Amino acid sequence: MEIRAMRRWGGPLGILAIVLLGQSMAKAQAVSDTGTWLAAFGNGNLAPKLDDRLKWWFDGQLRFFEETEGFGQSVVRPGVGYALKENVIIWAGYGWFVNARPGSPDISEDRVWEQVTWSKPFDIKPLGLRSRLEQRFLQNGDDVGGRFRQLASWRQPIARSKRFSFVLSDEIFVHLNDTDWGSDAGFDQNRCFVGIGLKHRPESRWTMDIGYLNQHINRPRRGNLTNHLLSVNFAYGPKVSQRVPSQVDDLLSVGEEN
């Protein structure tokens, strides 16, 4: 009975602990904004006839903010992976970002990333974990910024429905060094998502997640920023167990926005 309860509630309780940790690391907020994030995610077998452990990854995103009067950021991020186990995959890839700045020219960013995704850890089926390292190259600086991100996501079917699910996730971001383009070593931001997942048919490989995303950004020089966002995500995967929860990926971060 205790093991069954742990498997059922371990996911959301763990995410709640991450949320509380992120909030304790964040200072009092000074500024807030609203916006909409749209994203499409996919992953699958790269060469099924050669080795089904080889994987592909791609996500593309458009982010809109009231502060920027529309377009805020675009994301294009491909990658490749290798399955160490059925539920553990290591990944590496590249990301290209274009960031809008009110009253100033847009700034582009090149990003190299490595990550490990882990579905059903500790045999907790609704739980998914992702640990990611990033090396960031911004157009307005010479330094390479390192950042670590830890995501925990919990997806639970609603009642006996095979089409609808409740989704909860949280991700903490930590800068690993200071840079000449504005990042300071230490806590960067926290993202918490609450929403509903929908499948057109239970056997469909497509899932849509829609809900509320709270993004709290630590900005020591200008006062913290909290974004209240409508998040709409479309995800494709060969199996639900291999799909990485996608509703919390990168932020609008340029210079002191980090």
For domain 2-257, give the fold. Porin (2.40.160)
Reported as a pLDDT band with limits 50, 70 and 90, residue 14 is: low
Q: What are phi and psi of 139, to 5 degrees?
A: -65, -30
Helical spans, DSSP H, in the chain: 2-25
pLDDT given for residue 243 in this prediction = 43
Residue with tokens 């998040």: 231
Q: What is the DSSP string of 64-130?
A: EETTTTEEEEEEEEEEEEEEEETTEEEEEEEEEEEEEETTEEEEEEEEEEEEEEEESGGG-TTEEEE
Task: Give residue-wise pLDDT tens across range 117-160.
Answer: 998 877 777 889 999 999 999 999 999 999 999 999 999 999 88
Q: Compute the distance between CA of residue 168 and CA of residue 200 in angstroms, rounded to an integer.
A: 20
Task: Give residue-wise pLDDT tens across range 164-219.
Answer: 999 999 999 999 999 999 999 999 999 999 999 999 887 888 999 999 999 999 99
Among 79-88, 137-146, 158-167, 224-233, the range scoring the smallest mean pLDDT is: 158-167
Reported as a pLDDT band with limits 50, 70 and 90, residue 240 is: very low
Q: Compute the distance between CA of residue 157 and CA of residue 149 in angstroms, rounded to an integer.
A: 26
| Domain ranges within the chain, ordered by starting residue | 2-257
